[in-house]
Amino acid sequence: MAGFTKPCILLAASVFAVLALAGAAAQGVHDGRRRVMLEEIRESVRQTAAYLGKDHLDEAVMDALAKVPRHEFVPAGMRDLAYANRPLPIGAGQTISQPYIVALMTDLAAVGPSSRVLEIGTGSGYQAAVLAEIVDHVYTIEIIPELGKSAEETLRRLGYDNVTVRIGDGWQGWPEEAPFDAILVTAAPEVIPSPLLDQLRPGGRLVIPVGEKGGVQSLQVVTRDAEGRISRRDVLPVGFVPFTGPGADGKKAGGD
């Protein structure tokens, strides 16, 4: 047996070396594609400056997108497309949002290192990861169990310990952790859920697409002042998957 020890060790070392080189090469490819994605986001912002009222996003937002490995949040068979500036399917009829939209919604939330944020619609976990690079804590709700569990596993594996995932109906928000400095909604209801407005801290922002299923939706920023007065601003026409769940269904049926 002693005669086989050294060759086996050398072979194992060679295999590990090859794997390490392959991993480094793949990482280099992802890094290059991520840089291209960031430039495409900047260009998209410039092209939509008339809607946004500015021609660039906060650098903290761009830095966050530069750090998050988007290829970890898409199905394995789609990793070559992970940094394309477009939405991608993630299963269960859902998508990971276009990077430009993720960047824009994060920027519109106007959050910082001390912020506590609620996200409705965890999906793959990518938007939560981008927020987690900037804020103190992210609370995120996903109604589809398999997506929520997969996102939680990915976030934990990548070290995002400042994200808490819940499986449930996002219409009701997360009242026991309210109020929030910002709330981001990544699916489109036909009307704004009133519980989310109630869970905004005075001065906080709700960033949400609103509109009928199959129709043109409007990405809106809703703010609540110290006296509880609500104001809203239409930012950009968008297309999101519809908001689903008991809360949304009840509202369509005429419930509160």
- Average pLDDT rounded to a whole number, residues 85-113: 96
Domain boundaries, the chain: 57-252
pLDDT at residue 203 tops 90: yes
Confidence tier at 18 by pLDDT (50, 70, 90): very low
User: For residue 6, what pLDDT is reported?
Assistant: 58
In whole numbers, what is the pLDDT of the chain averaged over residues?
90
User: For residue 226, what pLDDT is reported?
Assistant: 84
User: For residue 2, what pLDDT is reported?
Assistant: 47
What tens digit of pLDDT does each residue of 136-148 get?
999 999 999 999 9
Q: What is the pTM of this model?
A: 0.87
Residue of 129, 101, 124, 111 lying closest to 209 (CA atoms): 101
What tens digit of pLDDT does each residue of 24-62 get?
545 678 999 999 999 999 999 999 999 999 999 999 999
Asked whether the beta carbons of 40 and 100 are under 8 A apart, the reply is yes
Report how far residue 128's alpha carbon sits from residue 175's, in angstroms, rounded to the nearest whole number. Answer: 19
User: For residue 225, what pLDDT is reported?
Assistant: 87
In angstroms, the Cα distances linking 12 to 15, 19, 132 are 5, 11, 38
**Does residue 115 have an active-site annotation?**
no
Q: Which residue has the tokens 């090859």?
A: 18
User: For residue 213, what pLDDT is reported?
Assistant: 83
What is the end-to-end Cα distance of the chain in Å, rounded?
A: 76
Report how far residue 97's alpha carbon sits from residue 89's, in angstroms, rounded to the nearest whole number. Answer: 9
Report how far residue 81's alpha carbon sits from residue 71's, in angstroms, rounded to the nearest whole number. Answer: 8
Radius of gyration over every alpha carbon of the chain, rounded to an integer in angstroms: 21
Confidence tier at 255 by pLDDT (50, 70, 90): very low
pLDDT at residue 183 tops 80: yes
Q: CATH code for 57-252?
A: 3.40.50.150
Report how far residue 55's alpha carbon sits from residue 223's, in angstroms, rounded to the nearest whole number. Answer: 22
Active-site pick, 14, 44, 97, 114: 97
Residues 6+ apart with CB under 8 A from 56: 42, 45, 46
Burial label for 122, CB within 10 Å (0-12, 13-18, 19+), is: buried
User: For residue 117, what pLDDT is reported?
Assistant: 98
Q: What is the percent of the chain where pLDDT is above 90?
A: 79
pLDDT at residue 215 tops 90: no
